[in-house]
Amino acid sequence: MSISDVLSEYSRIRAKNETELERRVQQVYDAVPELKKIDEQKNALQLKRISQALDGKPIDTSDILALREKKNMLMIGAGFDSKYLDPIYSCNMCRDTGSLDNSLRCECFKKRVLEDKLDAAKLTDTDVSFELFDLNVFDDSPLESGKSQRETMQRIKQITSKYADAYPHCEPILLLSGSTGLGKTFVAKCVMRRVIERGYTAAFYTAYRLFSMFHSHRLGEEVDLDPVFTVPMLIIDDVGTEPMTRNVTVEYFFDLINERTAAGLHTAIVTNLAFHDIKDRYGDRIHSRLMDKSTAIKIIFSGDDIRY
């Protein structure tokens, strides 16, 4: 989607909202015919005031204010909210133009452009959510810890759903570690689903795909890395399965984690690696970032592979 496509979308939004406002006006006029006469009087007075201002004459707006007050009382008396006929905007900041009064791009505009770039990284699983999280698929037999796998997953569900509900006022790093088939990816996607449902932008990448992009970028190819560095919530799955490439894997991974954390953005990392294996594979700097208790929530999955 080009910039012109985004601007065209704003035009469609404005047209839709204007049509809805016209419908509301007619609805109110049909219910209270006197309101149409009041609006006509108010518009005539406003034109007169503009003419007076251009002529340098003093302006008295008391009559207009009186008509507005009368209109509000009639609307409320007819069961309408006093703001029912106010202009309708999908974004009150830019009034559906994509630009602010200072000519800077609105955040809603930036979000539209970013989501377009992340189109291939959207969550497509319709059967993944905390609401569909079935704890009964986990064994209820006690493990060495004394708790069953089901009890452990119930606790993980509580922690991660609370994390998603608190987003973005939560730790910037969510690390999910454990063996294969324990539900790590499912939980990460549940977090992503909840974050998206709450109106935020999120993206899901496998480590293989993400690091392939890094490798191509290192070779000088035109790869747009801006989305993965700027998306509010980034999910990276299967970390530790990507090929280790000299001067790429560790360097790009560290920059990604470091810059996103510094910017207050959130990153969920799903890995089969144990915590000490993360240090062995990626070195002290990355291990330190992921283990920092002030910026990271670390969750260990245990039990048997539920896919068998």
Q: Is residue 307 part of a domain?
A: no
Helices (DSSP H) in the chain: which residue ranges?
A: 3-31, 34-54, 62-77, 107-117, 149-166, 184-197, 207-218, 226-230, 249-262, 275-282, 284-291
Residues 150-164 have a mean pLDDT of 94
Residue 112 placed within a domain = no
The CA–CA distances, whole Å, from 11 to 17, 22, 86 equal 10, 16, 19
Residue that terminates a domain, selected from 55, 80, 105? 105
pLDDT of residue 308: 59
144 plus 221 within the same structural domain: yes
pLDDT bracket for residue 304 (50, 70, 90): confident
pLDDT cut 70: percent of the chain above it:
99
Question: Quick one: how far is CA 282 from the chain centroid?
Answer: 29
Alpha-carbon distance 267 to 228, whole Å? 10
Question: Averaged over 114-135, what is the pLDDT?
Answer: 85
132 and 212: one domain?
yes
pLDDT tens digits, one per residue of 158-185: 999 999 999 999 999 999 999 988 899 9
pLDDT at 279: 93
- Do 268 and 169 lie in one domain? The reply is yes
Asked if residue 17 is part of any domain, the answer here is yes
Q: Name the pLDDT band for 2 (thresholds 50, 70, 90).
A: low
- Do both 180 and 49 map to the same domain? no
Task: Give backbone dihedrals phi and psi of 176, rounded to 5 degrees, phi first.
Answer: -110, 115
Residue 15 structure tokens: 């047209």
Per the structure, how many domains does the chain have?
A: 2
Q: Residue 232 above 80 pLDDT?
A: yes
CATH of the domain at 171: 3.40.50.300
- 3-class secondary-structure state, position 12: helix
Q: What is the pLDDT of residue 122?
A: 85
- Residue 305 resides in a domain: no
Output the average pLDDT for the chain: 90
Q: Does the residue 179 lie in any domain?
A: yes
**Model confidence over 64-120: pLDDT tens digits?**
888 889 998 999 999 999 889 999 999 999 999 989 888 888 988 888 888 887 787
Give the torsion sign (CA, 60, 66, 69, 71): negative
Out of 105, 133, 156, pick the residue that ends a domain. 105
Domain that holds residue 13: 3-105
pLDDT reading at 26 higher than 60: yes
Min mean pLDDT across 21-30, 141-150, 252-261 is at 141-150
Q: Is residue 111 part of a domain?
A: no
| 181 compared with 266, residue with greater pLDDT | 266
Q: Give the residue-averaged pLDDT of 246-268.
A: 94
pLDDT number for residue 143: 73
* Contact by Cβ (8 Å): 227, 203: yes
308, part of any domain: no
The alpha carbon dihedral of 195, 197, 198, 200 has a sign of positive
- At residue 299, the 3 state secondary structure works out as strand
Contact 209, 305 (CB under 8 A): no
Residue 237 lies in a domain: yes
| pLDDT for residue 1 | 57
